[in-house]
Amino acid sequence: MSEPVLHHLRAGGVSVVLRTIGDRLPEVLHWGADLGDVPGAALADLDLASRPQQVTDQTNDPVQVSLLPELSAGWLGTPGLSGHFAGARSSHRFAVTDARFDADRAELEASDPSGLGLAVVLELSPQGLVRQRATVTNHAAAPYTLDAAHLILPVPARATEVLDFTGHHLRERAPQRAPWQLGVRSQDSRRGRTGLSSTTLMIAGEAGFSFGGGEVWGVHTAWSGNHRMYAEHHNDGRKLLGGGELLLPGEIVLAPGEDYTTPWLYYSYGVGLDELSARFHEWLRARPGRATRPRPVALNTWEAVYFDQRLEKLTELADAGAAVGVERFVLDDGWFGSRRDDTSGLGDWEVSADVWPDGLGPLIDHVRGTGMEFGLWVEPEMINVDSDLARAHPDWILAPVGRLPMEFRSQQVLNLTIPEAFAHIRGRLIALLDTYDIAYLKWDHNRDLIEACDPATGKALVHAQTAAFYRLVDDLKAAHPEVEIESCASGGGRVDLEVLERTDRVWASDCIDPLERQHIQRWTGLLLPPELVGAHVASPTSHSTGRTHDLSFRAATAMFGHFGLEWDLTAASETERARVAEWIAAHKRYRELLHTGRTVRADEPDPSRFVHGVVAPDRRHGLFAGVMLATSAHQPTPPVTLAGLDEDLTYEVTLVGVGTDDGGGWGRPLPWAEHGVRLSGRMLHRVGLVLPRLNPEHAVLLEVRAL
């Protein structure tokens, strides 16, 4: 057996140590905290110290679990590559033919005697985020059916708990946590989009890990179609985090010369969930081409008018929005074709002459005249059977042979893999952007891809449809790079890092009840920074839950995101409008802090409270929210602590007046509230301070500034 060769990659406080033996694919000796500048001899000793003792009932050589685990290396867990040549040659033994290692990047090329080629890239970002992907190429003379291609990174034995997320429409990204037991814990999405119930992250950590403490390791599969993430605990003691695209039967068949590239898998390490989260946030903010101007305060018309679109009403709503400080006015569903309800018109992307006899120009001109941008709702991937497009091209619908799939919200899926269908939709969207002054598209996707097949052959097309969606967005961005796009899918059904390579924010949920949003935004924010998450102030009574909340709670919740309104302001009182204007002004005052700072969350032991905030990069300024979710078991409630501050600085803490006008109940004033208090960052983190008394479902904002 050849002597191993060690490669130490480092960046952003993270180390990855790769071990290669002979021509085998490399395995990971360490992924986690930075090991420092380790000399070669010490790396060799680290390798020696990690080798298991060989005992009876084991392979003669140690089992190697590479980045793409192989049965041929003795691994009997989840294989990295599954596939076959017409039922034959299903096992692989890749030999590395070329390898390049830099300080923060590894590139490998390998081949298998069957004729398959493999290329793997692993890299560390300056923020310490690890990402990797693989390309499989068929160099053989026969077709190769690819069933799965999964990549992994190992985590240490001390990771004994797993956190992931589930949910449904109006309740996305609900956390679930469990001991990491033997076997495979897998979160799969077969919905043809990222999914309302799918996890954004699979996280393993030390027992009792929290936002501020305990080592944690997480994986994210960056793909907007079917995918999986898994945490595997093998009976040999190894623990792995992996994932990849979830391929349907026969979906990827590589003809000779063809290749398949996996999605990027992103991995983050941290001491506490906040550090793991911060690596994603910092990486997203450093992306080339991201929107860098302040995020415009938006008003979306959906819950204000639904399908009842009338110029007079909408211009009145626009005026009301402009008067309170709105910067972007978004016309939602109902402006095109026969779309008077959600049963018809999808696919007919032409302005309805019935609703808009003079086109959208009069409304857009009015909106632009107030100084606001104009945005428009679209759902280009969908089609109603009751539409001119479906009647003209029934063969453009994704369907199994001989029948349509079951309907979902009275709609089917347009087959964008057909060049003519793709060109038609692309042409209609670009024509809209060419004709009108549109700065923003709210891009929706309200249907799971059930039986998304080629109607002529029955072949599954989810992968091809997802790739076509990416091409469509890329084409629109190339033609109109100034247009921003929101990823919306029945609310938060398409939230992943690959869709955010080409869009500018996500809609976290169709539920904007602030009590629900406190939870949804908290866990969406593990992956995404506040400026990428649409967060709107709803009407006093939530349309999705029927609960009624004061403006202070609704607005304080929306403050920590891309702020907007989803409310018929024309029906609001003058007093309500004045208070909305104050909240918008407050958001603009703190917008730079909120959208550039580090998100922190207190490890609050009282389940009735959340305490979270954003701290500036230099840690001299912060804005925190104290949120009362329910009635506490304690009266009075104990102090809360503030995370993320410089423990050696002294801060002045004050209540933000706009957030303290209601919900305080009865009693004498809080002793420190009137004039503020001066405390060190260490005191605020280790001892804390008492919040004003809050009724359930209310919030208060605290500002901290270094002296």
Which positions are catalytic? 444, 510
At 588, is the secondary structure helix, strand, or coil? helix
At 237, is the secondary structure helix, strand, or coil? coil
Between helix 462-479 and helix 419-435 the angle, nearest 10°, is 30
Chain centroid offset of residue 242 CA: 17
How many Cβ atoms are within 10 Å of 423's Cβ, its own excluded? Answer: 12
Amino acid at 516: E
What are the φ/ψ torsions at residue 371 (nearest 5 degrees)?
95, 0
Q: Scanning the structure block, which residue is given the tokens 């809209």? A: 432
Tokens of 485: 């796009």
Tokens of 20: 């290669």
Beta partners for residue 597, in sequence order: none
Per-residue burial over 382-394, b if 16 or more Cβ lie within 10 Å, else e, is bbbbbbebbeebe
How many Cβ atoms are within 10 Å of 376's Cβ, its own excluded? Answer: 22
- Measured CA to CA, the distance from residue 675 to residue 153 in angstroms comes to 52
| CA terminus-to-terminus distance, the chain | 63
Question: How many CA within 13 A on the CB side of residue 143?
Answer: 11
Nearest to 172 by CA among 525, 536, 520: 520
Q: Scanning the structure block, which residue is given the tokens 């304690």? A: 634
Report whether 125 contacts 117 (CB < 8 A).
no
In degrees, rounded to 5, the angle at the alpha carbon of residue 411 between the alpha carbons of residues 535 and 343 is 90
Rg of the chain (C-alpha set): 27
